[in-house]
Amino acid sequence: MPITTVDVLTCLRKMADVIHENKEYLTDLDSAIGDADHGINMDRGFQAILKKLPSVEDKDAGTILKTSGMALVSSVGGAAGPLYGTAFMQAGMAIAGKYELEAEDLLAILDAALKGVVMRGRANLNDKTMVDAITPAVNAMREGLGNGAGTVEALEQAAAAAEKGMQDTIPMLAKKGRASYLGERSIGHQDPGATSSYLLINTMAEVARANE
């Protein structure tokens, strides 16, 4: 059963809820190794997405994601704004014109999002960033689909891989972003960007599962 634009809108709304619920948690993570605003910024960004959704409800999924990306760029600020904004915009371009998404399209979304983040922020694996959550997710999804998993299962495998990637950031030494100024003091803390990435990918899996 394909994912429709209605599901995409539902997913974005659920993402906004999840980010809102985790606003303080993300901000606390960002207090330890950042400047204490990741949750606040992401919440503002997703509220901005919610405001834009009514104007693109009848559009294709690509337009919905691109519009969401632009809303993030102009409302989040910091590093998360350009990174997530580019991620959503690139994801939107990967599925431009589509009203129904199959499994390969969801993989294309995640893959394009990751490529966008790496292009914009130039982080590598193990720099202790969102890339450390999204990369395993993309790999897991690709592998899952390759092994014959269904859409929902593959997404859940992606979410599980993102969760592990997020936890794996804990012992990492930060080499990018504000956390990198702390040097060794960044070790022992979970990266906020990897955490929000996991939350978003997990929401995709949950919405897909609920939709089955």
Partner 1 sequence: MKKLINKPEDVVTEELEGLALAYPDIVKVHFEPDFIYRADAPVKGKVALISGGGSGHEPMHGGLVGVGMLHAACPGQVFTSPTPDQMLEAAKMVNSGAGVLYIVKNYTGDVMNFEMAADMARSEGIRVLNILIDDDAAVKDSLYTAGRRGVGTTVLAEKIVGAASEKGYDLKRMADLCRKVNINGRSMGMALTSCTVPAAGKPTFDLPEDEMEIGIGIHGEPGRERMKVKTADEITEMLALAIIEDPTYSRTIRELDEEKGEWVDVALEDPPFKAGDQVLAFVNGMGGTPAIELAIIYRKLHEICEKKGLKIVRNLVGSYITSLEMQGCSITLLKMDDEMIKLWDAPVKTIGMRWGM
The verdict on 27 binding partner 1 (CB under 8 A) reads yes
| CA dist 74 → 12, 49, 126, 171 (Å) | 17, 10, 28, 33
DSSP class per residue in 32-46: HHS-S-HHHHHHHHH
The stretch among 59-67, 69-77, 142-150, 204-212 that binds partner 1 (CB under 8 A) is 69-77
One-letter amino acid identity for 165?
G
| Alpha-helical regions (H) of the chain | 5-21, 23-33, 38-52, 61-73, 80-94, 103-121, 131-146, 151-168, 192-211
Cβ at position 27, least distance to partner 1 in Å: 6
Select from 13, 14, 120, 142 the one that contacts partner 1 (CB under 8 A).
Answer: 120
The verdict on 50 binding partner 1 (CB under 8 A) reads no
Residues 70-99 that bind partner 1 (CB under 8 A): 73-83
Residues 123-182 that bind partner 1 (CB under 8 A): 173-178, 180-182
Enumerate binding residues for partner 1 (CB under 8 A).
27, 31, 33-37, 40-41, 44, 73-83, 120-121, 173-178, 180-183, 185
